[in-house]
């Protein structure tokens, strides 16, 4: 089997990127991403894109600095389904951790849905430890276009950064 290495760049996600991020979720999810980008200008959020030479995002994720005092909270992490298990999530999370450290903070937090063991395993491999659980909810778009409330339990995890 031949191996191909593709260089990746981490940069800030922009509104212009959103149409090419439809792989990450529904129209309602893209609207949520757009609202998060509004918070970037307020200094409350960093939103990252991981891109190959085409410049199109294949991994995205946010860091919310307002949710937990003294920490950056990773959220809306997604990797293009065709490229999962290729290391993109790891690079994206490491870049987010660097952004947190650049703000002078030394702790990263996140919540992972209890029915997503694959993501939890990634976070544990990267040094995150569980410390609590909490219910979470957000608007989700059903296949027929109606908006529903998605409710789930999440394991809360954190990592002390150097």
Q: Give me the mean pLDDT over the 96-113 stretch.
A: 98
Burial of 10 (0-12, 13-18, 19+ CB in 10 A): middle
- Asked if the structure places residue 23 within a domain, the reply is yes
pTM of the model: 0.93
Asked whether residue 53 is domain-assigned, the answer is yes
pLDDT at 22 over 90: yes
The DSSP code for 96 is H
pLDDT at residue 3, as a whole number: 87
% of the chain exceeding 70 in pLDDT: 100
Q: Compute the average pLDDT of residues 112-128.
A: 96
Q: Which residue has the higher pLDDT, 89 or 140?
A: 89
Give residue 21's domain range. 9-160
Q: Closest by alpha carbon to 14, among 79, 60, 63, 72?
A: 60
Q: Residue 152 domain-assigned?
A: yes
Task: Find the mean pLDDT for residues 40-61.
Answer: 97
Say if residue 106's pLDDT is above 90. Answer: yes
- Whether residue 89 is contained in a domain is answered as yes
Q: Residue 153's domain is classified under what CATH number?
A: 3.40.630.30
**Is 1 contained in some domain?**
no
pLDDT at 78: 96
Q: Is 61 a domain residue?
A: yes
Query: What is the average pLDDT across 48-77?
Result: 97
Return the pLDDT at 10.
Answer: 98
How many independent structural domains does the chain possess? Answer: 1
**Cβ atoms of residues 21 and 48 within 8 Å:** no
User: What local confidence, expressed as pLDDT, does residue 145 receive?
Assistant: 85
Mean of pLDDT values over 94-108: 98
| Residue 82 pLDDT greater than 90, yes or no | yes
3 inside domain:
no
Per-residue pLDDT at 139 exceeds 90: no
């Amino acid at each position: 089997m031949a191996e191909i290495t593709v260089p990746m760049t981490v940069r800030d996600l922009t509104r212009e990127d959103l149409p090419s991020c439809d792989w990450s979720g529904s129209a309602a999810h893209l609207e949520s991403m757009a609202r998060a980008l509004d918070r970037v200008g307020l200094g409350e959020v960093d939103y990252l894109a991981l891109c190959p030479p085409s410049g199109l995002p294949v991994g995205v994720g946010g860091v919310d600095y307002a949710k937990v005092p003294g920490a950056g909270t990773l959220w809306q992490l997604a990797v293009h389904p065709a490229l999962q298990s290729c290391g993109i999530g790891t690079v994206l999370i490491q870049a987010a951790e660097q952004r947190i450290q650049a703000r002078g903070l030394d702790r990263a937090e996140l919540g992972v849905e209890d029915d997503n063991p694959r993501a939890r395993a990634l976070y544990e491999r990267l040094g995150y430890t569980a410390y609590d659980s909490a219910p979470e909810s957000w608007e989700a778009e059903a296949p027929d276009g109606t908006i529903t409330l998605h409710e789930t339990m999440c394991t809360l995890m954190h990592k002390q950064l150097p």
